[in-house]
Amino acid sequence: MDIFNFFSKSSSPKEKGDVEKDLAKTGKSFWSKLSKIIVGKSTVDSDILDKLEELLLSSDVGIATTMQIITSIEKRVAQDKYINTNELDQILKTEVKKLLSTSPKLECLVRDTDVHPHIILVVGVNGVGKTTTIGKLAAQFIAQGKKVILGAADTFRAAAVEQLTIWGNRVGATVIARAMQSDPSSVAHEAVQRGIEQKADVIIIDTAGRLHTKIHLVNELSKIKRTIQKCLPGAPQEILLILDGTTGQNAFIQAEAFTAAVQVTGIVITKLDGTSKGGVVLGIANQFSIPIKYIGVGEQIGDLRPFNAQEFVDSLFQNW
**Considering the domain boundaries, does residue 4 fall inside one?**
no
Residues 174 and 257 in one domain: yes
pLDDT, mean of residues 192-212: 90
pLDDT level of residue 156 (50, 70, 90 thresholds): confident
Asked whether residue 256 carries a pLDDT value surpassing 80, the answer given is yes
Range of the domain at 76: 14-100
**Considering the domain boundaries, does residue 107 fall inside one?**
no
pLDDT of residue 104: 52
Query: In terms of Cα–Cα distance, which of 9, 52, 62 is closest to 286?
Result: 62
The C-alpha atoms of residue 269 and residue 309 are separated, in whole angstroms, by: 13
Asked whether residue 286 carries a pLDDT value surpassing 70, the answer given is yes
CATH at residue 276? 3.40.50.300
Q: Which of 65, 100, 135 is a domain's end point?
A: 100
Residues 272 and 124 in one domain: yes
Calculate the alpha carbon distances from 175 to 76, 99, 130, 200 in Å: 55, 39, 15, 12
Residues 154 and 259 in one domain: yes
**Considering the domain boundaries, does residue 184 fall inside one?**
yes
Residues 197 and 153 in one domain: yes
pLDDT of residue 316: 60
**Considering the domain boundaries, does residue 94 fall inside one?**
yes
pLDDT of residue 135: 95
Q: How many domains does the structure of the chain reveal?
A: 2
Residues 137 and 43 in one domain: no
Instruction: Choose the most confident range, by mean pLDDT, from 182-196, 200-214, 267-281.
Output: 182-196
The CA-based angle 218-100-28, given to 5 degrees, is 105
Residues 130 and 277 in one domain: yes
**Considering the domain boundaries, does residue 320 fall inside one?**
no
Residue type, 239: I
**Considering the domain boundaries, does residue 3 fall inside one?**
no
**Considering the domain boundaries, does residue 1 fall inside one?**
no
Higher pLDDT, 86 or 281: 281
pLDDT of residue 225: 93
